[in-house]
């Protein structure tokens, strides 16, 4: 029984990690907490749904479609709302409030178009075969989710460490002013980061839609809370933290549902968040927060 839960926890945790990675990357590079990340997640899920139901897309194309749509949304959010705030000196809460505005615009628009009902992927879009790996039963779907999440994370790590643009992103995350002096096009890096991170959010969206076979316009909210809990747990701006935190949350939720009660599953993330804020606000991998003069 417990072993079986591991499969569920891994699949859940993998998606949480994927979502949180984009979230934490935006914070690390742009120093903005985007509360629109849940909305782009939802956009990705719907993009995947439409790709499958209207265009009969296969898995790979569906994933691609989700990432492109969400990536584009992220680009636009930076272009219209977050970017202009960088040019002038604004209150430190302004970018966050702007992203709340974007989230509301996106969510309401989708609610107007798609309504409040739950949509499903076609039956057996992913065949419901399962495999026995080391005593644990993993469905094909779970394997795909874990596999794709891992793949995307590896690609991202490779990108950040081995490619020119990736190193540029890291340089800007370290210190935008220095990066600018070194000739790095900082504005473009910001846009790129928003796009990539949102694309990851969209991928998490379509994978979640597949995992629970439910897609609805309200799904951005719950994932956002969890994303916040994960990045604070793991350390804001730290990718390893996002991965570790995602897994921890996934396991915590599955175990609490299995052994305590399913009613309060949504409250687990807040519980973890609160605990970390009490004990170690910088998170697992975060640097200790210091004030400067």
Partner 1 sequence: MSDLITSFWQTYNTLFYTVFVHGMLALSIYITLSCGQLSLGNAAFMGIGAYTAALLTMKAGAPFGLSLIAGGFLPAAVALIIGIPTLRLSGVYLAMATLGFGEVVRVVFLNMKITGGSLGLNGVPLKTELWHLILVMGILIYFFIKLRNSRFGRILEAINEDEVAASVMGIRATYYKVWAFAIGAFIAGVAGGLNAHFTFFISPREYGFEPAVDILTFAILGGTRTLWGPLAGSTILSILPELFRFLGPYRLALNGIILVLVVLYLPNGIVDRDTFSNLKKFFKKEENA
Partner 2 sequence: MLKGENITKDFGGLRVLGDVSFEVKEGSIFGLIGPNGAGKTTVFNIISGLLKPTSGRVTFDGKDITNRPPYEITGYGISRTFQNIRVFREMTLLENVLVGMHRLFSYSTISMFFDLPKKRSEEKTLREKAFEILSIVRLTDKADLKAESLSYGEQRKLELARALATEPKLLLIDEPAAGMNPAETEELMEEIVHINGKGYTICLIEHDMKVVMGICSHIAVLNFGELIAEGSPDEIKANPEVIEAYLGKEEQSA
Least CB distance from residue 188 to partner 1, whole Å?
Answer: 21
Please state the separation of Cα 160 from the chain's center in Å. 17
Told to check if 162 binds partner 2 by CB under 8 A, we report no
Q: Which of residues 264-293 bind partner 2 (CB under 8 A)?
A: 290-293
Nearer to partner 2 among residue 88 and residue 291 (C-beta) = 291
CB proximity list for 168: less than 8 A, separation 6 or greater: 179, 184, 185, 189
Q: Cα–Cα distance between 28 and 7 in angstroms, integer?
A: 31
Nearer to partner 1 among residue 124 and residue 290 (C-beta) = 290
Residue 290 binds which of partner 1, partner 2, none (CB < 5-8 A, kind-dependent):
partner 2
- Binding span for partner 1 by CB under 8 A among 129-137, 174-182, 223-231, 251-259: 223-231
Q: Residue 131 is inside which H or E element, if any?
A: strand 130-133
CB proximity list for 28: less than 8 A, separation 6 or greater: 173, 236, 237, 238, 239
DSSP H helical ranges for 115-264: 140-162, 164-174, 176-181, 186-212, 220-234, 239-259
Contact call for residues 234 and 241 (beta carbons, < 8 A) = yes
Told to check if 112 binds partner 2 by CB under 8 A, we report no
Contact code string over 84-123 relative to partner 1, x by CB under 8 A: xx----xxxxx-xxx-xxxxxxxxxx-xx-----------
Least CB distance from residue 287 to partner 2, whole Å?
Answer: 8
Contact call for residues 82 and 194 (beta carbons, < 8 A) = yes
Residues forming contacts to partner 2 in the complex (CB under 8 A) are: 290-293
Applying CB under 8 A, which residues contact partner 1? 33, 35, 80-81, 84-85, 90-94, 96-98, 100-109, 111-112, 221-222, 224-225, 228-229, 232, 263-264, 266-267, 269-270, 273-274, 277-278, 281, 289, 291-293
């Amino acid at each position: 029984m417990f072993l079986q839960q591991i499969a569920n926890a891994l699949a859940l945790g993998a998606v949480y990690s994927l979502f949180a990675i984009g979230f934490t990357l935006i914070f690390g590079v742009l120093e903005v907490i985007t509360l629109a990340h849940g909305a782009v997640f939802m956009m990705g899920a719907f993009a995947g749904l439409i790709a499958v139901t209207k265009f009969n897309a296969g898995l790979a194309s569906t994933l691609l479609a989700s990432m492109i749509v969400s990536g584009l949304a992220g680009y636009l959010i930076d272009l219209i709302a977050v970017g202009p705030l960088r040019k002038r000196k604004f209150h430190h809460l302004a970018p966050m409030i702007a992203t709340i505005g974007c989230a509301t615009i996106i969510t309401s628009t989708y609610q107007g178009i798609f309504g409040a009902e739950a949509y499903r992927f076609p039956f057996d879009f992913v065949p419901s075969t399962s495999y026995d790996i080391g005593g644990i039963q993993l469905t094909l779907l779970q394997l795909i989710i874990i596999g794709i999440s891992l793949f995307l994370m590896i690609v991202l790590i490779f990108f950040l460490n081995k490619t020119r643009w990736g190193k540029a992103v890291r340089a800007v995350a370290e210190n935008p002013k220095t990066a600018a002096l070194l000739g790095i096009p900082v504005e473009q890096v910001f846009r790129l980061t928003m796009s990539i991170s949102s694309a990851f959010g969209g991928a998490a969206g379509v994978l979640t839609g597949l995992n629970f076979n439910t897609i609805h316009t309200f799904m951005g909210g719950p994932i956002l809370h969890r994303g916040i809990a994960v990045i604070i747990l793991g350390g804001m701006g730290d990718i390893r933290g996002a991965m570790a935190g995602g897994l921890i949350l996934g396991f915590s939720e599955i175990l609490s549902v299995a052994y305590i009660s399913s009613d309060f599953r949504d409250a687990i993330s807040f519980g973890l968040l609160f605990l970390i804020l009490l004990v170690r606000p910088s998170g697992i991998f975060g640097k200790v927060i210091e004030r400067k003069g």
